[in-house]
Amino acid sequence: MSVDQASLGHVRAGAVEKAKPIISFRNVVKTFGTTVAVDDVSLDIEAGDFFALLGPSGCGKTTLLRMLAGLEVPTNGQILIDGVDMGTTPPNKRPVNMVFQSYAVFPHMTVRDNVGYGLRMDGVPKDLRAERVREALELVQLGALGGRRPDQLSGGQRQRVALARALVKKPKVLLLDEPLSALDAKLREAMRFELSQLQQTVGITFIMVTHDQNEALAIASQIAVMNKGSISQIGKPADLYEFPASRFVADFIGSVNMLEGRLTKDEPSEAIVACPELAPFPVHMPHAVPGNVGAPVWIAIRPEKMNLHKNSVEPPQAPECPSAHNVARGVIKEISYLGDISIYHVAIASGRMLRVSRPNRSRWDQEGFDWGETVWVSWAGSSPIALLS
Amino acid sequence: MALPVSKSRLTFWVTALPPLIWVVVFFLAPLAIVWAYSFGVNKGLTEVDISGTFANYARAIEPLYLEIFVKSIVVAALTTLLCLIIGFPVALAIVFASARWRPWMLMLVMLPFWTNLLDRTYALIAVLREQGFANFTYKWLWDQTSGIMALIGLAPLTDWQPMHLLYNNFAVILGLVYVHLPFMVLPLYAALDRLDRSLIEASLDLGAGHMRTMFSVVVPLALPGIISGIIITFVPALGAYLTPDLMGGPDSQMIANVIERQFKRANDWPFGAALSFLLLYATFFMIALRAVLARGSRLEAGHGI
Amino acid sequence: MATHPAPLEYNRRWPMRLWLFGVFFFLYAPLVALIAFSFNNSKRNIVWQGFTLDYYKKLFNNNELMLAFANSLTIAACATLIAVVLGAMAAIILWRFHFWGKSAAEGTMALPIVVPEICMGVAMLVFFTRVMPWPTDLAWPLNLGAIIIAHATFCFPFVAMVVRARLESFNHEEEEAARDLGANDWQAFRDVLLPHLMPALIAGALLSFTLSLDDFVITFFTSGPNTVTFPVKVYSMLRFSVTPEVNAASTMLIVLTVALMFVMMALQRRAAPTGKG
C-alpha cells in the first residue's frame, strides 16, 4: 500500500518494462533465537544498479547482505542470484564477493597475495593471476604498493585492497558492508565519488549496506529503506526524499517537520488538512491525497521548503495556494549557523517548534533574521507531503 | 606511571624485601645447591664432595641415559602433537559457541585441569586395568559378537583375552594426553578468540573451503598461540613423573623417574642433580624458543598467554 | 525448525559435535566412573551392585587417611596465607616501581612457575635435608613447616600473576585523588588500592589453595613419615591396589576442588563488571 502511494507522486517508477533482476529475495525470513532480524523481505535488484540498503542499526540490512553472501542461512524463503536459487550454497561457491566493514585484509599476506588469494582458490594459473592482480591494483590506484604488508597501509589504502581483492574475481555482484564507516569525514566524501566512478568503470552491480542517509543519497542509484526487518520503501534517491511513503522514511532521510492533522477536504485539484498545531491556518495542497475525509493524516514539510518573512499584521501569501493557508506565525528561538545554510527554530503559537532552513547566499545577509524576532513562516502548496502511516 | 625508587624508598624496601628474600632463600639457594652437587662426587652415605667434576654430565649422556632422554622427548612431543590435534577443534568450538554455551564449555575444559592430578591418573587406571571398564566393555562386545556369529551359523570367536592397556608406553602417552589436554586448549582458545571473524568469512567469500581457510588463514594467524600451546604442553609433559610412574611399564620410564630414583633409592645425588639440570636446561631452551618465536612473528593476532 | 548451519556455526555440524562428545567423554567418563563406584556395594566387581556409603564410613574411621587429609588442608591454608601476602607484594613492587634489575627480578619471580616439578622437588629435598633440616619432633602442625614453605614458594608466583593482571586495570587517578585529599602511602594503599585488588587476592588465594592441595611431586620429596599429605597417602595406597576406599577418598578431593572452582567462578563473575575504574 505504501509503495502505491509513492508511485502516485512520481512518474518514472514502473514506466520502463523491468529487466530480469540479478538478485531476487523472495519472502526471506531470518530469526536469531526469538528475535526476527529479517521479516518476510521480497526484493528485486536489477543488474547494473548501485543499490543501497539503508536503515538504522539493527534493521536487518547487514543480515540481508550476509545471507546474500552465504554467511548466514535464511530461516525461510529463497534467494536467487542471476536466476539461480542459492539454497544452502556455501559462500565460496557463490558468484558474489564482499568488502567487509573491517575490510578483513589478511594481515599475514602482502597486498598482492591478498588480492590474488581468491584467484588462487579458483586455481587460476600463476602468470594469469599476476596479470589480473596487477590490473586490479591499478584499478584502485594501488599499483605501486603490491609488495607492502597491510600494517604498512592507511585505512583508505586497506579499503582499496579489499575492493581490489573482491573485484579481481569478477563477481556478478559486489557486496559492500558499511564500506565508508571506518574512514574519517574528508576521506569519506572523496571515496563516495570514487566508489560510484568505480562502479561505472567495472559495470558490476554493487549492493551497499549503510546507516548513513547522506552516503546512500550521494552514491546509490536505487535505495531500499529498511526498518525493523522489513523494507519500508524502494526508490531512487530523489524519490525517497521528495516522495517518502511513510513517516519513518520521511523522518529517516533528511530532516522534516512532522505535524498531525485531519483531512477536511479531498478533491482532485485540492486537499485541505487541519493541523491543531498550526491553527488557525490550515494546510493546503493543490492535488488529491490518499485517505478519507475526516481521517487522521500526517503532514511532513522539509525545512528548506519553508520560507521566513518579516513580521506583519496580515499573513503573507504562500505560493500556489489561497490566502490564509500554509502559514504560521512564531518567534525565532534559536539559529544554528552551519556555513552554507542556517537553521531557524521557530516557536509558533501552539508551542510547536518548526525548523526552517535558508541558504546563506550573501556574505552580508541584508534580510537577516535575529534571535527573538517575530516572523511568519510560509510554504508552497506543493511542499507538504501527506502521509497515512 | 611506574615510579623511580627514590620517590618512596621506605615503601619500596618494605614491600620488595620479603618476596625477594623468600625467592632467594627458598628457591634460588636450593637450586644453586643442586647445581653445585651436579659437579660433585658421593663421599660416604650423606657426604657430597663438590670437586668440579663433569663426570656426572658425562654419565648422563651415556647411551643408557641418553636413550631415556630421547625417549622422554619423543613421548612429550607425541603427547603434544596429540593434544594439538584433539584440542584444536575443541578450542575452535568454544570460540564459536554461543554466548550461552561458551562459559560452560570453558568450564568443562577447566574442571579436569583443577581436579587433582593423582585423582585423574587413578581414574584412568581404573578404566584401563585388566578388570577395568575398557576391558569390560570389550568383553561384552566380544561375547555379543560371538553370540551373533553362533546364531548365524558361523564358528564363535575364540576365548576372550583382556587387552593390556596399562603399564606400557601406550598407557603413558594416553595418560599424558589425558592430563595435559587443558594446557593445550586454553592457549589455543585465547589465540583463536582474538582472531577477527571477518577474516575467516573473507576467505570463504573469496572461494576457499573450510579446510583451506583453516590452513591458509586461521592457522597462520593463530600461530603465536599455537606455539604457546605447544610449549606450555611440552614442558610439563617432558618433566612428567606421576603418569609414567603409575601407568608405565618397566621400559616406559621418563627422565623424571630416573631423577627420582637417584635421589630416593640409588642415593646418587650428584648424578641426579646433573640430570635435573639437564632437564631444567631443556625447559629453559623451550621457553627461550617461545620468546624468540613470539618476537619473530610481528603479527598482532594473538600472542597466546 | 532447524535450518542449515551458517558457515561459522561450526558447533552445529555433526562431525564437530561428535568430536566434542568424544573429547568430553574421554575427559569425564573416568572421573564419573570413579565417583559412581565409590558408592558401589562391591569390593572387586565393576558391575553395579547397589548403593552404599560403607567406603565413606571406612574412610572416616581410617585415622591415617584422615590425618593426611587434615595435613593437606592445613598446609594449603598456611601456604596460601604466605603466598597471597608475598604474591601481592611482588606484584605491587613490579607494577609500581622502576628499579635497577627489574626485568631480572620479574623473571626470577616467574621461575617457580616454569621449573619442572621434579627439579623443584629435588631442590627442596636437598635443601631440607642438608641446609635447613626441619625438626621432625615438633608438635602438629609445626612439623609441616618444610612442606608449607615449599608450597608457598611455588604458589606465590601464581598469586603475583593474578594480582598483576588486576593491577593493570587500576586507575591511577583514584590513588592520586586519595593523595590529593591528604592520604599517605599506607592510607592510599589501604583505602584505594587494596579494595580494588580484593577480587584478585581472593582468586589468587583459591588458586593457591587448589595448587597446594593438588601437589604430589614436590610434597613427595619434602614429606617425612609423619608428614604425609592426602595425595601422598593416596599414592601409597594406589601402589597396592585399586579399592573403593581410594575411590571414596578421591571423590572427596574432587568435590572439594570443584566446590572451590565454583566459588572462584562466582567471585570472578561478580568482580567482572567493575573491571575498569
Taking alpha carbons only, the member of C18, C242, C246 closest to residue B133 is C242
Strands A50-54 and A222-227: parallel
Geometric angle at alpha carbon C221, from B37 and C90, rounded to 5°: 85
Grid cell, residue A362, equals 550573501
The separation between CA A232 and the C-alpha centre of its own chain, rounded to angstroms, equals 11
Q: Which residue has the cell 617457580?
A: C112
Give the tens place of pLDDT for each residue, B12-46. 888 889 999 999 999 999 999 999 999 988 887 67
Q: Strands A96-99 and A173-177, how do they pair?
A: parallel
Q: Which of B196, B201, B207 sits opposite A71 (nearest CB)?
A: B201
Separation CA A104–CA B197 (nearest Å)? 8
| Whether C76 contacts C152, CB under 8 Å | no
Q: What is the pLDDT along chain A (389 residues), one digit of tens a residue?
A: 344 444 444 444 444 455 679 999 999 999 988 899 999 999 999 999 999 999 999 899 999 999 999 999 999 999 999 999 998 899 999 999 999 999 999 999 999 999 999 999 999 999 999 999 999 999 999 989 999 999 999 989 999 999 999 999 999 999 999 999 888 888 888 889 999 999 999 999 999 999 999 999 999 999 999 999 999 999 999 999 999 999 999 999 989 999 999 999 888 888 999 999 988 899 999 988 888 888 899 999 999 999 999 988 888 888 888 888 999 999 999 999 888 899 999 999 899 999 999 998 888 765 688 899 999 999 999 999 999 88
pLDDT at position C203, please? Answer: 87
Please tell me the distance in Å from A63's CA to the nearest CA on chain C: 12
Q: In chain C, what residues touch B119 (CB-CB under 8 Å)?
A: 31, 34, 234, 250, 253-254
Instruction: Quick: pLDDT tens for A289-337.
Output: 888 888 899 999 999 999 999 988 888 888 888 888 999 999 999 999 8
Q: CA triplet C165, C169, C173: central angle to 5 degrees?
A: 140
Q: How far apart are the CA of C8 and the nearest CA of chain A, in angstroms?
A: 8
Q: What is the pLDDT of residue A5?
A: 43
Bigger pLDDT: B130 vs A110? A110
CB atoms within 10 A of CB B26: 20
> What SS3 class is residue A42?
strand
Does residue C2 sit at the A interface (CB-CB below 8 Å)? no
Picking from A72, A75, A88, the nearest residue to C1 by CB comes out as A75
Assign C275 a pLDDT band (cuts: 50, 70, 90).
very low
What is the arithmetic mean of pLDDT over B196-224? 93
- What pLDDT shows up at residue C44? 66
| pTM of the shown model | 0.85
- Which chain C residues touch A91 with a CB distance below 8 Å? 7
Q: In A, residues 80-139, which contact C (CB 8 Å cutoff)?
A: 88, 90-91
Please give the Cα distance from B83 to B34 (Å, whole number).
33
Q: Chain A contact for B18, CB < 8 A?
A: no
Amino acid residing at B242: L
User: Looking at beta carbons, which residues of chain C come within 8 Å of B115?
Assistant: 31, 254, 257-258
User: What pLDDT is stored for residue A19 in this prediction?
Assistant: 66
Return the closest-CA partner of residue B188 out of B227, B237, B238, B215. B227
- For residue B134, the surrounding DSSP H or E stretch is helix B133-151
User: Using CA atoms, how far apart are residues B79 and B229, in angstroms rounded to an integer?
Assistant: 12
How far apart (Å, rounded) are the C-alpha atoms in residues A212 and A214?
A: 6
Kindly tell me the sign of the dihedral angle through the C-alpha atoms of C119, C124, C129, C131: positive
Amino acid at C226: N
Q: How far is A305 from chain C (nearest CA, A)?
A: 48
Q: Taking CB atoms and an 8 Å cutoff, what residues of chain A touch C7?
A: 70-71, 90-91
B81 to chain C nearest CA, in Å? 15
C1/A71 Cβ within 8 A: no
Distance in Å, alpha carbon of B134 to nearest chain C alpha carbon: 10
What residues contact A305, with CB distance under 8 A and at least 6 apart?
A379, A380, A383
Angle formed at CA B273 by CA B270 and CA B275, multiple of 5 degrees = 115
> Rounded to the nearest 5 degrees, what angle is found at the Cα of B24, between the Cα atoms of B22 and B27?
85
- ipTM here: 0.86
* Side chain identity at residue A244, one-letter code: P
With CB atoms and an 8 Å threshold, state whether C8 touches B197: yes
Q: What is the DSSP letter of B249?
A: -
Of the candidates A100, A108, A166, which has its C-beta nearest B201's C-beta?
Answer: A100
- Across the interface, which of C30, C90, C261 has its CB nearest the CB of B123? C30
Asked if the model's pLDDT at residue C227 lies above 90, the reply is: no
Nearest residue of chain B to residue A165 (CA atoms): B206
Least confident of A296-300, A367-371, B168-172, C162-166: A367-371
Distance from CA of A59 to the nearest CA of B (A): 20
Paired sense of beta strands A205-210 and A50-54, if any: parallel
pLDDT digits (tens, 9 = 90+) for B41-61: 888 767 788 888 888 899 988
Q: Is C4 in the A-facing interface, judged by CB distances under 8 Å?
A: yes
Q: Which three cell numbers stand for residue C167?
A: 593491577
pLDDT greater at residue C214 or residue C85: C85
Compare all CA atoms of chain B with the CA of C230 and give the residue at the minimum distance.
B118
pLDDT at A61: 95
The whole-angstrom separation of Cα C80 and Cα C215 is 13
Size of interface A-C (CB pairs under 8 A): 15
What is the side-by-side order of every strand in the sheet holding A296-301? Answer: A283-285, A270-274, A257-267, A296-301, A385-387
> Measured in whole angstroms, how far is the alpha carbon of residue C130 from the centre of its chain?
29
> Nearest Cα to A72, choosing from B206, B207, C6?
C6
Cis peptide bond N-terminal to C244, omega within 30: no
Which chains reach chain C with 3 or more Cβ–Cβ distances below 8 angstroms? A, B
Give yes or no for a contact between B191 and B180, defined as CB atoms under 8 angstroms apart.
no
Q: What type of residue sits at position A270?
A: E
Contact C195, C166 (CB under 8 A): no
Task: Choose among B196, B206, B300: nearest Cβ to A118.
Answer: B206
The crossing angle, in degrees rounded to 10, of helices C63-96 and B9-23 is 140
Using 50, 70 and 90 to split pLDDT, how confident is the model at B297? Answer: low
- Across the interface, do A98 and B300 touch by the CB < 8 Å criterion? no
- CA separation for the pair A75, A90 (Å, rounded): 15
Judged by CB atoms closer than 8 Å, whether chains meet at A102 and B208 is answered as no
Interface test with B, best of C97, C100, C206, C239 (most B CBs within 10 A): C97
d(CA B179, CA B117) in angstroms, rounded, equals 7
Q: Do A165 and B206 touch (CB under 8 A)?
A: yes
